[in-house]
């Protein structure tokens, strides 16, 4: 086994109260591809920051080989003080690093390098930060949520790039498909302790469930053993005092272990508030078109969305997904065409623009709109603290400002607010960002089992495959097509279409080539040869011969049309046979 380039051992960290990390460990060797997974708030990002040297642990050992280079991708990169994106990316290079690689990465990530940091969107900021950590090709890459705010095309390119580079990688992500494609081993951070699986993320969830089952079984055995020992303490023999005192000490240790056992974090409870049933036809759109500054985003798009459909919208950032969605929901007027909305529609919208949150507002005020301490959920009044528990918030967080929440907690908070509103049409814009996998599973169940209609914008391929009934995707020049099934089904249909198109072009190519050759052949000759006397005579008499043969064909057809032909004269027919 190769010696580790980076090793964290027995890492502990506490900020007061329950320790965040108690016995965490990471060992990174050459060519490692490690997925670091765990629930929101379990300390994954903090552990990665300890590995990068940005946080000092309370206890434990951190070893990094002196010659090893490490680059860390933060969830919120700091670009202050840089004139443009290129300057920011080049600041991450070492003396021997290649400047050309900066241009290569910026081009593939859809940036020019001249963009001003203050004008960047969330996706552009993430792509610039990725270019900065990838450019020097370090020995170790520490990536915290690299796929957040990236479109599917960029995510797939990133997967390919990470498989090709020589760097060892430790990555945190909630994108299942991304982790399956990139990782070769998995570290699970759970209740402050890490466990390692020397297989990729594809094998993780089955292994995790077995570990939790064994833990529950061991805890049950410990409880029964404590009962037996307590029975001995009350009714057992009191002789051999020394041995009995040791046994009493063991009992006290078992009681402490049982009492202090931290069970696995509970699951969120996601349930959409029901509204009256909408009409069968929810949205009907005919020949929609929309353009901005001579750029066509939507051109002649039509669709019919019925009650119970779950429609996914995919495509690169800037392709027009939000524009199309806004037209379909009546928020934006098309340049041409019309949209007809169904009857009894109650729409709830999840907008994942976190900058719209008032960071000074408390969780309680955000959920209740500042109207006391109760929230109406599914027609029933509930105390906001009780409702918050469904989304894994503690009662003591009731007066916590939103600015103190992690990205995953903010995502859960926004979900809590949206799902409290009665709705039969859910419009979810990137609902999977920052959610841990357990909450993603529950959101998937909610979407798949929702009695109404769902319009879903997402770059999470696995989530799309598990939920949507059709996918609407851009085909270029403002054209959008709807494909039946999930994202994988869409790719398969596109592949079949591409294969069929290639076959048609291949079949047409020889005909076109022979036609072109036939046209060019006479022109290639210096001059036409003169016709001989026989050729001239044949050319002059050919029309008369054609006419005679045509008449003969007509006469023969008349004879063959006679139903009594064989009865009148069978000899010619038998002779020809």
pLDDT in tens, the chain (577 residues): 678 999 999 999 987 767 889 999 999 999 999 999 988 778 899 999 999 999 999 999 999 999 999 999 988 888 888 999 999 999 999 888 888 999 999 999 989 999 998 888 878 898 999 999 999 999 999 999 999 888 888 999 999 999 999 999 999 998 999 999 999 999 999 888 999 999 999 999 899 989 888 888 877 777 777 777 776 666 665 545 555 666 666 667 766 666 665 655 555 566 666 667 888 999 999 999 999 888 899 999 999 999 999 999 998 888 889 899 999 999 999 999 999 999 988 888 887 665 567 888 898 888 888 888 888 887 788 888 888 888 878 888 888 888 888 777 788 888 888 888 888 898 988 888 777 787 788 888 888 888 889 999 988 999 999 999 999 999 988 999 999 999 999 999 988 888 887 888 788 766 555 555 545 544 444 444 556 655 666 777 777 788 788 888 888 877 777 777 766 777 666 655 4
Q: Are residues 77 and 26 part of one domain?
A: yes
What single-letter DSSP state applies at residue 59?
Answer: E
Look up tokens 């008449």; give the residue: 551
- Which domain does 293 fall in, by range? 281-485
79 shares its domain with 192: yes
Contact 462, 284 (CB under 8 A): no
| Measured distance CA(353)–CA(38) in Å, rounded | 24
pTM: 0.72
Report DSSP state, residue 16: S
Q: Please give the distance of CA 533 from its chain centroid, rounded to a whole number.
A: 79
Instruction: Note the pLDDT of residue 334.
Output: 93
Does residue 518 lie in a domain region?
A: no
Same domain, residue pair 287 and 186: no
Residues 19 and 94 in one domain: yes
What per-residue confidence (pLDDT) applies to 254?
A: 64
Closest CA to 483 of 466, 463, 500, 497: 497
The answer to the question of residue 309 being in a domain is: yes
Q: Which of 338, 335, 337 is nearest to 297 (CA)?
A: 335
**Closest Cα partner for 20 from 38, 46, 39?**
46
**What is the bridge-based pairing of β-strands 479-484 and 470-476?**
antiparallel
Sign for the CA dihedral angle at 247, 252, 254, 255 comes to positive
User: Which of 196, 229, 259 represents a domain boundary (last residue)?
Assistant: 259
Determine the distance from the C-alpha atom of residue 433 to the mean position of all C-alpha atoms in its chain, rounded to a whole number: 9
Q: Do strands 185-190 and 33-37 pair parallel, antiparallel, or not at all (unpaired)?
A: parallel
334-372 burial, b at 16+ Cβ within 10 Å, e below that, comes to beebebebbeebbbbbbebebeeeeeeebbbbbbbeeee
Task: Let me know whether 114 and 147 are in one domain.
Answer: yes
**Residue at 517 is within a domain:** no
Cα dist from 521 to 408, 535, 561, whole Å: 71, 21, 45
β pairing state of 295-306 and 281-292: antiparallel
**Residue 36 falls within a domain, yes or no?**
yes
**Same structural domain, 338 and 473:** yes
Instruction: Answer whether residue 123 is part of any domain.
Output: yes
Side-chain half-sphere CA neighbours of 540 within 13 A: 7
Residue 151: CB atoms within 10 A of its CB come to: 20
Cα–Cα distance between 383 and 69 in angstroms, integer?
A: 51
> Measured between alpha carbons, how far is 396 from 394 in angstroms, rounded to an integer?
5
346 and 480 in a single domain? The answer is: yes
* Residue 150 shares a structural domain with residue 193: yes
Same domain, 335 and 460: yes
Residue 494 located in a structural domain: no
In this structure, the answer to whether residues 250 and 340 fall within a common structural domain is: no
Q: Is 483 helix (H, G, I), strand (E, B) or coil?
A: strand
Contact of 273 with 450, CB cutoff 8 Å: no
Placement of tokens 């404590």 in the chain:
226
Structure tokens at 278: 């909408």
Q: How far is Cα of residue 203 from the mean position of the Cα atoms in its chain?
A: 19
Let me know the angle formed at the C-alpha of 131 by 85 and 292, rounded to the nearest 5 degrees.
60
Are residue 154 and residue 249 in the same domain, yes or no? no
Residues 299 and 433 placed together within one structural domain of the fold:
yes
267 domain residue, yes or no: no
What is the structure's pLDDT at 524? 44
Q: Measure the CA–CA gap between 61 and 391, rounded to whole angstroms.
A: 35
Domain assignment present for 490: no
Q: How far is CA 324 from CA 98, 296, 320, 480, in A?
A: 41, 12, 6, 9
What's the total number of domains in the chain?
4
């Amino acid at each position: 086994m190769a010696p580790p380039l980076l090793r964290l051992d027995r890492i502990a960290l506490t900020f007061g109260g329950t320790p965040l990390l108690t016995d965490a460990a990471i060992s990174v060797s050459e060519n490692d591809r490690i997925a670091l997974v765990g629930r929101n708030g379990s300390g994954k990002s903090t552990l990665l920051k300890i590995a990068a040297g940005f946080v000092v642990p309370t206890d434990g050992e951190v070893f990094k080989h002196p010659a090893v280079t490490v680059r860390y991708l933060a969830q919120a990169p700091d670009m202050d003080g840089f004139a443009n994106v290129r300057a920011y990316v080049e600041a991450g290079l070492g003396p021997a690093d290649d400047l050309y690689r900066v241009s290569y990465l910026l081009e593939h990530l859809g940036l020019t390098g001249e963009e001003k940091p203050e004008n960047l969107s969330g996706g552009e900021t993430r792509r610039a930060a990725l270019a900065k950590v990838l450019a020097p090709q370090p020995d170790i890459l520490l990536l915290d949520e690299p796929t957040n705010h990236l479109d599917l095309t960029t995510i797939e390119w990133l997967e390919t790039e990470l498989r090709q580079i020589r760097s060892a990688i430790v990555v945190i992500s909630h994108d299942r498909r991304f982790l399956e494609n990139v990782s070769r081993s998995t570290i699970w951070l759970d209740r402050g302790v890490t466990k390692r699986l020397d297989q990729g993320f594809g094998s993780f969830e089955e292994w995790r469930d077995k570990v939790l089952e064994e833990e529950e079984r061991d805890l049950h055995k410990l409880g029964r053993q404590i009962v037996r020992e307590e029975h001995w303490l009350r009714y057992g023999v009191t002789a051999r005092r020394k041995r009995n005192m040791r046994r009493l000490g063991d009992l006290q240790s078992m009681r402490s272990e049982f009492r202090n056992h931290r069970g696995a974090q509970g699951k969120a409870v996601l349930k959409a508030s029901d509204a009256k049933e909408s009409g069968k036809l929810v949205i009907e759109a005919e020949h929609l078109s929309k353009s901005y500054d001579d750029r066509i985003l939507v051109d002649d798009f039509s669709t019919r969305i019925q009650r119970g459909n779950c429609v996914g919208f995919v495509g690169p950032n800037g392709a027009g997904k939000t524009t199309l969605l806004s037209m379909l929901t009546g928020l934006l007027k098309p340049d041409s065409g019309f949209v007809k909305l169904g009857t009894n529609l109650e729409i709830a919208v999840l907008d994942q623009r976190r900058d719209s949150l008032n960071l000074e507002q408390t969780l309680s005020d955000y959920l209740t709109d500042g109207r006391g301490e109760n929230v109406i959920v599914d027609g029933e009044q509930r105390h906001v603290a009780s409702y918050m528990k469904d989304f894994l918030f503690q009662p003591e967080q009731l007066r916590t400002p939103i600015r103190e929440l992690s990205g995953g907690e903010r995502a859960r908070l926004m979900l809590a607010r949206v799902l409290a509103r009665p709705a039969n049409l859910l419009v979810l814009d990137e609902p999977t960002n920052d959610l841990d996998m357990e909450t993603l599973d529950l959101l998937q169940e909610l979407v798949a089992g929702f009695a109404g209609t769902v319009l879903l914008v997402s770059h999470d391929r696995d989530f799309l495959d598990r939920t949507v009934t059709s996918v609407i995707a851009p085909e270029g020049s403002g054209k959008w097509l709807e494909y039946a099934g999930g994202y994988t089904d869409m790719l398969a249909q596109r592949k079949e279409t591409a294969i069929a198109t290639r076959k048609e072009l291949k079949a047409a190519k020889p005909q076109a080539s022979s036609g072109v050759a036939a046209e060019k052949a006479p022109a290639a000759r210096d001059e036409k040869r003169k016709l001989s006397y026989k050729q001239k005579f044949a050319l002059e008499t050919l029309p008369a011969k054609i006419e005679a043969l045509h008449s003969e064909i007509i006469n023969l057809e008349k004879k063959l049309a006679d139903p009594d032909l064989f009865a009148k004269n069978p000899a010619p027919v038998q002779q020809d046979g």
